[in-house]
Chains A and B, each alone.
Chain A
């Protein structure tokens, strides 16, 4: 066991109002000179808009000076962990986003171009897209990739759209109306299948930690449109029978889609096409080093065989004799997102892949599995921690699902409270588990190739410390966080339509009225 001691940490606490509550009437960040006579002669800018589109009242924006505004956002930024702490947020494959890529992204060739420009003036960007497509083709064995989807779930949805297009073109739409997935697949698989009008059949986990072939056989048949599955799953368990699964699904007449959300543990080792899959998806904001979460928009790269490529969203980037052109696939399903997608993420992923090289990607996969198994040994030595499917032998892949069921049973402290307390030591709370929870009080850290041994040791030391606190002083953990910008949040408002508010206007309507009424009484 390492002898790392968790760091002392205290977050700034500003009791900062919402920006809408700041400022004063008439205050401005910048005041502008009166327009020159030639400009004024054109008339007010508002008159350039059709009358029906003009605002009747000015927007209720906060009126603030530039330095008031800067101060506000600096304070807010002090009240977060900054996205550069130790974040082993499992199923998300947290990676550092190199500053070089960020700097490249800010260059005018990337930041100031517009998707409606003539493709002739976008050749550099299209070349990046084309080149990166070749890299993903090599990693997956697929024939074409689209980057239009703005995330993993959007890429899964792309597959559902392509499946519909394929069914229609082959005269099977209506007959094949079921999509098979597993209860442990990411919820976007059943969700996008349902959104695309398909019935969903889910397979349960069985003895090996994955569904049995017999369960799959019971689920597939003449109504099967597709299988949507990830492997390894979020528990770090790799289903070794996947080739047979794909064979059975295709024999039944369906398509097989590989949700490569958990690609990190197998990248460079297996190729979706070699296992028989018709299509797959990668997340560039996870596996390929793009920013994610609060860091920026995402990209789901969807790849498929030549047979399915004619259904891909439009436009596709094609190489011509003189450069690169945008073409519409013969039976394109249309759009799953505006324009060509978040291509600045594709640029960052391309930079990452070129920086790593084929050997580097292969090695990163090895390191991520090694790091996880190192962490597993350390975590299982912590009192109160156990692992999902403890009876299944052999090492897990790039992550492991743990349970704090024992801790909960013995101390009353559950995983939500432990996660809150962990932030008191300046590390990001772990991902718990997608629903439904098969194991009590689950959490799912993922080390990945990025994090040093010291980082992993520090993270585990925090878990150990908090679990020790749970046994010694459960109230301390129960009432956490204590060192964070805000205390324990009562989450039930997020489930109450009468109280939740995602806009300032909704907040005023639902809360201001109530508080004024209370004050009057």
Chain B
């Protein structure tokens, strides 16, 4: 139902230090020492001004919505810079200068039952936010961080502000979708290793393309196609073949088609349509592969996060060794066509930690997008 604008509540929180590390080449800003180094290297805060840029899009709605912000650089300053008059959250403890500040503010937004939580930060901030609100409140990121593998950010501060304005104005172009929140381990990154985990699933608003003239019927959305595809995959999967399921919301559809919920943020193994190992780690997967019968094993994985990663981000349990033993021909990648279309360039990345396995995966792969439909995508080893 279309709602009239008015009475909507928006929570805004800025991670003032987000992005500080990136400008001075530190690959992130997690931890007090890094922050001190970043400041010493002359890093200038950008999160606040970028958030103000996003909030400018909300000015036309200012009279009809209520905006809640923590005091000072965590929101108040950005709102003021955008010419807004927000309600300042009272009674928050003095900032500790780390993620607890974000989490405390977000907990208040949860109590206040805001309709949307706009946060300015990167993957670390997204992780703090989703850790508190889960899927209870829609969230949207104003991109200001160094790491942004999570699929919860607007493409730019302005784009995030416009999407937020559309949602709060009750405009029908807005839909909510589930999106992955991922975070890299910065310390590992600085040592030249990349290690990322999937931390949660958020509900994120996005603006759909406007309804077009009848020349091209609207495509059914990814959701319907992926649900139908999940049922086909389950129907056609041999009963004696191990199914190693990657993490995320796309493969959850396959879990549900088999009748179990499994592990959203982890790797599960199914056999004959039953869950035989939940949240399996690499060692468990290798043991199961040792015992696999004549039907062998296959991996069903999806593109995780917002940057087109297939293996090596968020699903490291499916390690280089697991992939090598299963073999490239037994990997089935399932991803919505719309998600693939937004990748620019149209390349999927792998970073398994093994140059040999990355090379084996590289080349073109047919990605399943709907029953009877596949898209050929280039797979390349991630650089940097």
Q: Give the total number of A-B pairs whose CB atoms are below 8 A apart.
A: 98
Decide if A409 touches B346 in the complex (CB within 8 Å).
Answer: no
CA distance A183 to B344 in the complex (A): 14
Chain A CB within 8 A of B172 CB? yes
Interface pair B346/A494, CB less than 8 Å apart: no
Task: Please name all residues of chain B whose beta carbon is closer than 8 Å to the beta carbon of A431 when the two chains form the complex.
Answer: 213, 215
B337 within 8 A of partner (CB):
yes
A204 sits at the interface (CB 8 A):
yes
Flag B151-188 by CB within 8 Å of A: 1 or 0 each.
Answer: 00000101100100100000010000000000000000
**Given the contacts A200-B374, A412-B57, A437-B341, A495 and B218 also touching, CB distance less than 8 Å:** yes
CA separation between A416 and B156, bound complex, in Å? 20
Interface centre among A207, A215, A410, A475 (most CB of B within 10 A): A215
Q: Does A435 contact B (CB under 8 A)?
A: yes
Chain A nearest CB, measured from B58 CB (Å): 11
Closest to A216 in B: B376
B260 at the interface (CB under 8 A from A): no
Report Cα–Cα, A201/B365, bound state, in Å.
11
**B374 near A199: Cβ-Cβ < 8 Å:** yes
Restricting to B75-130, which residues have a CB under 8 Å from any CB of A?
none
**Among A199, A414, A436, A492, which residue has its beta carbon within 8 angstroms of that of B341?**
A436
Within 8 A of B (CB), among A385-420: 408-410, 412, 414-416
> CB of B375 within 8 A of chain A?
yes
In chain B between 294 and 347, which residues have their CB closer than 8 angstroms to a CB of chain A?
Answer: 337-338, 340-341, 344-346
B376-A409 in contact (CB<8A) = no
Give chain B nearest CB distance to A318 CB in angstroms. 35
Quick one: closest A residue to B217, CB to CB? A187
> Is A201 a contact of B374 with CB atoms below 8 Å?
yes
Q: Are A492 and B212 in contact (CB under 8 A)?
A: no
Q: Known interface pairs A203-B376, A431-B215, A491-B210. Does A218 touch B341 (Cβ–Cβ under 8 Å)?
A: no
* Least CB separation from A415: chain B residue: B210
Q: Does B287 contact A (CB under 8 A)?
A: no
Tell whether A242 is near chain B: CB-to-CB under 8 Å.
no
Contact A201 B341 (CB under 8 A): no
Instruction: Name A235-250 residues within 8 Å CB distance of B.
Output: none
Do residues B211 and A432 form an inter-chain contact, with CB atoms below 8 A? no
Contact of B378 among A183, A190, A198, A206 (CB under 8 A): A206
A12 at the interface (CB under 8 A from B): no
Known: A202-B376, A203-B376. A409 touches B211 (CB 8 A): no
Within the complex, what minimum Cβ distance (angstroms) separates A402 from chain B? 15
The reply to whether A183 and B341 form a contact with Cβ atoms under 8 Å apart is yes
Complex Cα spacing A152 to B122, Å: 47
In the complex, chain B residues whose CB is within 8 Å of the CB of A194: 372-373
Query: With an 8 A cutoff between CB atoms, is B40 at the interface?
Result: no
Instruction: Given A432-B212, A490-B2, A495-B211, answer yes or no on A200-B376 (Cβ-Cβ < 8 Å).
Output: no
**Distance (Å) between the CB of A209 and the closest chain B CB?**
11
> Is the C-beta of B209 less than 8 angstroms from some C-beta in chain A?
yes
Whether the Cβ atoms of A416 and B159 lie closer than 8 Å is no
Q: Assess whether A199 is in contact with B346, with CB atoms less than 8 Å apart.
A: no
Contacting residues, chain B, for A416 (C-beta < 8 A): 210
Within 8 A of A (CB), among B229-257: none
A215 contact set on B, CB distance < 8 A: 364, 376, 378
B-facing mask of A162-203, CB < 8 A → 1, else 0? 000000000000000000000100010010001000111111
CA distance A183 to B341 in the complex (A): 9
The interface bits of chain A over 431-466 (1 if a CB of B lies within 8 angstroms of the residue's CB, else 0) are 110111110000000000000000000000000000
Q: Is B274 an interface residue (CB 8 A)?
A: no
- Return B369 CB to nearest CB of chain A, in Å: 8
Using A199-B372, A201-B366, A219-B366 as known contacts, say yes or no to A410 and B158 having CB atoms under 8 A apart: yes
Q: Evaluate contact between B215 and A409: CB separation under 8 angstroms.
A: no
A214 lies within 8 A of chain B by Cβ: yes
Q: Which residues of A contact B340 (CB under 8 A)?
A: 204
From residue A366, how far is it (CB to closest CB) to chain B in Å? 27
Closest chain-A Cβ to B210's Cβ sits at a distance in Å of 4
Q: How far is the CB of A455 from chain B (nearest CB, A)?
A: 21
A508 contacts chain B at the CB level, 8 A cutoff: no
**The residue from A198, A206, A412, A490 contacting B346, defined by CB atoms under 8 A apart:** A206
Q: Which residues of A contact B165 (CB under 8 A)?
A: 412
Query: Shortest CB–CB separation between residue B51 and chain A, in angstroms?
Result: 16
Q: B219 at the A/B interface (Cβ < 8 Å)?
A: yes
Q: Does A205 contact B (CB under 8 A)?
A: yes
Known contacts A199-B374, A412-B57, A492-B211, A205 near B2 by CB under 8 Å:
no
B363 at the interface (CB under 8 A from A): yes
Q: Does B224 make an interface contact (CB < 8 A)? A: no
**By the criterion CB–CB under 8 Å, are A435 and B374 in contact?**
no
Residues of A within 8 A of B159 (CB): 408-409
> Within 8 Å of chain A (Cβ to Cβ): is B292?
no
Measured CA separation A513–B32 after assembly (Å)? 64
Question: Given the known A-B contacts A435-B209, A436-B219, A491-B211, are A204 and B337 also in contact in the complex, defined by CB atoms under 8 Å?
Answer: no
Tell me if B377 counts as interface (CB < 8 A to partner A): yes
Candidate in A207, A211, A435, A492 with the most chain B CB atoms within 10 angstroms: A435
Q: Using Cβ atoms and an 8 Å threshold, which residues of chain A touch B211?
A: 491-492, 494-495
Complex Cα distance A177/B212, Å? 32
* Residue of B156, B337, B376 touching A201 (CB-CB under 8 A): B376
B158 touches A409 (CB 8 A): yes
Separation in Å of the A428 CB from the closest CB of chain B?
Answer: 11
CB B70 to nearest CB in A, in angstroms, measures: 27
One of B172, B209, B341 near A490 (C-beta < 8 A):
B172
Instruction: Supply 30 A–B pairs (Cβ within 8 Å), ascending by A.
Output: A194-B373, A199-B374, A200-B373, A200-B374, A201-B375, A202-B337, A202-B374, A202-B375, A202-B376, A203-B376, A206-B346, A211-B376, A214-B378, A215-B364, A219-B366, A219-B376, A408-B159, A408-B162, A409-B156, A409-B159, A412-B158, A415-B210, A416-B210, A431-B215, A434-B216, A435-B218, A438-B344, A492-B2, A492-B172, A494-B211
For the complex with contacts A199-B374, A200-B373, A437-B341, 5 further pairs of A-B residues with Cβ separation under 8 Å are: A194-B373, A204-B378, A219-B366, A490-B2, A495-B218
Could you tell me which A residues sit within 8 Å of B by CB distance?
Answer: 92, 183, 187, 190, 194, 198-207, 211-212, 214-215, 217-219, 408-410, 412, 414-416, 431-432, 434-438, 475, 490-492, 494-495
Q: List 3 A-B pairs, minimum CB-CB distance, nearest first.
A: A218-B364, A491-B211, A416-B210
Chain B positions within 8 Å of A, measured between CB atoms, are 2, 57, 60, 156, 158-159, 162, 165, 172, 209-213, 215-216, 218-219, 337-338, 340-341, 344-346, 363-366, 369, 372-378
